[in-house]
Structure 1
Amino acid sequence: MNKQLLHSDVFQLIEKWAPKKLAYEWDNVGLQVGSYNKVVKKIMITLDVLESVVDEAIREGVNLIIAHHPLLFKSLKQLNADTPQGRIISKLIQHDITVYAAHTNLDIANGGVNDILCNLLGIKDTSVLVESESKNLYKIAVYVPKTHTKIVQDVLSENGAGHIGNYSHCSFQTEGKRAFKPLEGTNPHIGTRHELAHVDEVRIETIVKEENLNDAISKMIEKHPYEEPAYDIFPLKNKGEKMGVGRIGSLASSTTLIDLCEHVKNRTEMNHVRVTGDLEKTVKKVAVLGGSGEKYIHLAKRKGADVYITGDMSFHVAQDAWAAGLAVIDAGHYIEKVMKEATKSYLDTMLKDKATIEVVTSKMNTDPFQFI
């Protein structure tokens, strides 16, 4: 019988994609309301946790909501059920619904909101727009009998080690002779107790990102033939993969600003966008930052963007971008709704052996603006 899945198990899957440590310090990600230890029945993905979304979850029999925008940003001083937020929290508690949020960590993560937008819009060869950190790298050096070299290298690669760019199984291997004497209480794979053994071995050296280090080591130990594998871990000063919000890349071919506006509307299923700049201007290099990105107009310009796609652009900042020659497509904060289908797809894949757990997306429109 399959072990029942708990809410905490789903949280771990989300954090495998978007680790909580990526979130900005001011953000409030993770568990918002509810429990780590309830059994998952049905999951709903939403951009926002509004009362209409909670009512929808109640109707649909959902007991776990995964949201992008946190329900709780500031500390609660009282829980007043006569306020909108109080009603939402009261309903969640009354109906035993847990809420979990992945916000700026999902913006920053590989394959997160900004990558989803770039893929949807056909923006290629992307790099990070606003760099916040680089991933730490480590070198693993493990000593393996020659007969098990491929087995150990494969398991390291399967768990994230030895990946450089579009190459896998990257390692440096040297051969040597290992000496050891098994003592009382040992059960050696090679050699005899109390006798000195000499074995032909290979030292495999490979690089791994910090988030994959523990998995790579534990799985390597499982597959290693020795009771006590010999291995070393070295922290590296090499700069790892750059992390941060936003992306900048290029369209497959140049287009006009007006045509790009229509493309953004069609691909993101938005009814409108706001735009600054010459509508007939030719654009190719595009910066993207889902949500509110007005702080980074000058960075987008310095990095060579012809146009910046973001949301929540205020009047004077839009003027500044216009004066600097940077076209801006303000598709609104609601453009981040693209995370719903992508998160559902990810969880469907990760939970494919849990066929009894249904993942749905909220059908509620949580955009507060209407255009007349």
Structure 2
Amino acid sequence: MLNCEVRNDKDGRTMLPGLKNLFNWSMGCMLFTPVTDMRDSYAPSLPPYNDVNRVPSKQMASAPAILPKVLKTVQKLYPVALADKTWDNTGLLLEAPIPHRPAANGVSRVLLTIDLTTAVAEEALREGSGVAVIVAYHPIIFRGLKSLTMKDTQQRSLLRLAAAGISIYAPHTAVDAAVGGVNDWLADGVSGGKEHEEKREVLQNGTKVEGHEDGGMGRLVELKEPLELIELVKRVKKLTGLKYVQVARPQLLEKVKTIAICAGSGGSLFRGVQADCFFTGELGHHETLATVENGMSAIICGHTNTERGFLAAVMKPRLEELLKEEEEKIEVVVSEGDRDPVEIM
């Protein structure tokens, strides 16, 4: 249990950023302050509270309306019904109990990221960011939480974001399955567009949702003209912005006509699929061996590298277009702190 004490506003002691807003909003002049020993051991890097964290009353009154507009827009593009709820934790993961603070120009922002890391949380909490909602592709809350403490980095981010009035939404597999989602973006990038394809199918049928009748997990693309494997690798590099990718191939394979595609981890989805090449972010060792043994190739980019480019290329402009119909003073930005945790040196 967190040790704490209540101090009058004039006391001037150090506290977690944003918590003063949370408790001033609900308790008037009273505020919540962690005692020194707990503060030092749990959050030594957090800056002291100062008056720039105050939220003017007018901004506080108008800010809560932002979240419903963002949820409506995201769910219009990527309906929750498309998500694989048998294992995925898609939806609103954190609803902030207080309003966020818009930027100085009155603009509120939606921050897009693949993973909600500490670096991304710091970016959202930066003074003047104006972030109201973080749309994190991967759910930061995946399984049940038994506690919320400052020792755990993810839980600390959740607490700090809630105290700053920032909500979190995770669309994950709804984006995977949607028509025009991340898997269609990958398919367009490697084929050159549907005009160069004989056909495009899903690897696993999903829930039928209006506007997404052809949606589902993964994609299987048949090209009109076979493609040299090395040319396909070049297209993948251009699409993902990667200098290097992993390629597994049988010695005799030279050209590719069918490509099975899965953003993120494709191992289980590719099971039983026949294609000249698997294109995915992650494939297990034995799955890769089996692929080559069966005369197929695989292009493996690293889990999030098959997802991250979609945010700036597709999700950002589509959200901006729809949000402008709802609210003029909302901007969509892609996180600068989000990155793949693994790099080739």
Match of 1:129 among 203, 210, 215: 203
Match of 1:68 among 130, 137, 143: 137
Q: TM-score normalized by structure 1?
A: 0.66
1:338 counterpart = 2:312? no
Q: Which residue in the other structure is 2:117 paired with?
A: 50
Range 274-283 or range 98-107, more displaced: 274-283
Query: How far apart are residue 6 of structure 1 and its match?
Result: 2.6
Query: How far apart are residue 298 of structure 1 and its match?
Result: 3.8
Match of 2:76 among 16, 20, 42: 16
Higher strand share: 1
Equivalent residue runs for 1:89-100 within 5 Å = 89-100=158-169
1:202-253 Cα offsets, whole Å, 9 max, x none, are: xxxxxxxx647xxxxxxxxxxxxxxxxxxxxxxxxxxx93442001113453
Match of 1:309 among 279, 287, 302: 279
Letter in 2 for 1:115: D
Gaps of 5+ in 1: 136-209, 213-239
Give SS of 1:70's match.
coil
Q: Which residue in the other structure is 2:94 paired with?
A: 33
Q: Is the 8 A contact 2:220 2:261 kept in 1?
A: yes
Give SS of 2:218's match.
strand
The 2-side partners of 1:266 and 1:361 are apart by 19
Q: Is the 8 A contact 1:7 1:37 kept in 2?
A: no
* Higher RCO structure, 1 or 2 (CA under 8 Å, sep 6+): 1
Summarize the Cα distance change of 1:359–1:130 in structure 2 as closer, same or farther, 3 Å threshold: same
Query: How far apart are residue 123 of structure 1 and its match?
Result: 4.9
Gaps of 5+ in 2: 1-61, 103-107
Equivalent residue runs for 1:73-88 within 5 Å = 73-88=142-157
Give SS of 2:131's match.
coil
Give SS of 1:352's match.
helix
The 2-side partners of 1:9 and 1:325 are apart by 49
Letter in 2 for 1:6: I
Query: How far apart are residue 282 of structure 1 and its match?
Result: 0.5
1:250 counterpart = 2:228? no
Q: Is the 8 A contact 2:233 2:299 kept in 1?
A: yes
Letter in 2 for 1:285: T
Q: Is the 8 A contact 2:88 2:142 kept in 1?
A: yes
Q: Which residue in the other structure is 2:39 paired with?
A: none
Identity %: 33
1:293-346 Cα offsets, whole Å, 9 max, x none, are: 111334331xxx211101221111100010111111111211111231211111
Match of 2:248 among 276, 279, 284: 276
The 2-side partners of 1:58 and 1:277 are apart by 45
The 2-side partners of 1:364 and 1:286 are apart by 32
Q: Is the 8 A contact 2:283 2:300 kept in 1?
A: yes
Match of 1:266 among 235, 238, 241: 238
Q: Which runs of 4+ in 1 moved over 4 A?
A: 36-40
What number of residue pairs does the alignment pair up? Answer: 265
Q: Is the 8 A contact 1:274 1:330 kept in 2?
A: yes
1:143-168 Cα offsets, whole Å, 9 max, x none, are: xxxxxxxxxxxxxxxxxxxxxxxxxx
1:58-110 Cα offsets, whole Å, 9 max, x none, are: 22231211111011001110111111112211221222111101011111011
Query: How far apart are residue 278 of structure 1 and its match?
Result: 4.2
Query: How far apart are residue 36 of structure 1 and its match?
Result: 8.9
1:13-62 Cα offsets, whole Å, 9 max, x none, are: 11111111211121111111124995782111111111100111122231
Letter in 2 for 1:299: G
The 1-side partners of 2:277 and 2:140 are apart by 32
Q: Which residue in the other structure is 1:107 paired with?
A: 176
